[in-house]
Amino acid sequence: MARVRLGLIGDNITRSQSPRLHFEAGRLSGIDVSYERLIPRDLGLDFDAVFDRCTAEGFRGINVTYPYKEQVVPRLDMPDPLIAGIRACNTVLFSSPRPEGHNTDYSGFIAAFRARFPGETPGRVAMAGAGGVGKAVAFALAGLGAVELRVYDRDPGRVQGLAKALAAAGIAMPVVSCTSMNEAAGSIDGLVNCTPLGMIGHPGSAMTLPQMRGAAWAFDAVYTPVDTQFLQQADEVGARTLSGYDLFFHQGVDAFRHFTGIDVDAGALQRALSGDMREGARQG
């Protein structure tokens, strides 16, 4: 049986379900997969030192999560010009002469949205957070036909950078930089949280209940726990929800393809992961 060594670099990943997903994908594909959680602080190293260690120790690839998705980009070749335009990476394949970067947050969000809302488009969207995952989701929303994106980030420079990146990629979707979520959330169709708020260790919600009223759908990038305060609020105002678990699953399928060249049976993988994995993520 072929063996593949994979890992995840991030700061808040002790309960990440990625090891289980890739192990099960490997089992279904006849591959012995190991998948390690690599937390720089716990290893007494900075991000670059952990990345170098993965290179030296023969990892096939790694996933990269908060807060390193933008920091890793200068170290990579990114063969897809659109993904290069996002300037954030969550999937690295170690290859010669340089590691190769991909963004399965982008492709995974498109797949998750289409699976949850078949035949629909996002409409006008208000988004909190313009960091690494926010960039990927913004590009994906454009690809899905969103007509306008209103973004609030505590760092307005991030929103400006996102707008420039979309324009440089030839994407015409208007991006409005907002000074608050109150400004962003008026008369919209969709709501998106791409901040860490709601994650284990980062309690709360990026939006208030009044800001969410009138939305048709809502997505939270956080999946530990699955039932975030943000999604509970969305349920309360009658919005249909897309969870961070849905993005997690679809981006994981795409990442596994990059790592192994294999298209795992998504239905079989969902069945293998159902129940205990979602419950573990729910409990956080």
Q: Does residue 35 carry a catalytic annotation?
A: no
Polymer length of the chain:
284
**What is the average per-residue pLDDT within 185-190?**
94
Mean pLDDT on 238-259: 97
Structural domain count, the chain: 2
Count each helix (H run) and each strand (E run) in the chain, helices first. Answer: 13, 11
Catalytically annotated residue among 68, 152, 223, 245: 68
Please write the tens of the pLDDT for every residue from 48-105: 999 999 999 999 999 999 899 999 999 999 999 999 999 999 999 998 889 999 999 9
Residue 28 tokens, joined: 């279904």
Task: From 178, 207, 202, select the one nearest 190 (Cα to Cα).
Answer: 207
Could you give the maximum distance between any two Cα atoms of the chain, in Å? 55
Q: Which of 60, 20, 10 is nearest to 261 (CA)?
A: 60
111 inside domain:
no
Q: How far is CA 237 from CA 1, 112, 148, 211, in A?
A: 50, 22, 22, 10
In a shared domain, residues 250 and 264: yes
**Pair (122, 223) in one structural domain:** yes
Per DSSP, the three-state class of 91 is strand
pLDDT at 236 over 70: yes
How does pLDDT run across 17-40, given as a tens digit for each residue? 999 999 999 999 999 999 999 999
Is 96 found in the same domain as 6?
yes
Do residues 34 and 95 share a domain? Answer: yes
- Tell whether 209 and 235 lie within a shared domain: yes
The predicted-structure confidence for 198-229, as pLDDT tens digits, reads as follows 998 899 999 999 999 999 999 999 988 899 99
DSSP strand E in the chain: where?
A: 2-9, 31-38, 61-64, 91-93, 100-102, 124-128, 148-152, 175-177, 190-193, 217-220, 240-242
Span 130-149, mean pLDDT?
A: 97
134 shares a domain with 80: no
Spatial distance between the Cα atoms of 228 and 231, rounded to a whole number of angstroms: 5
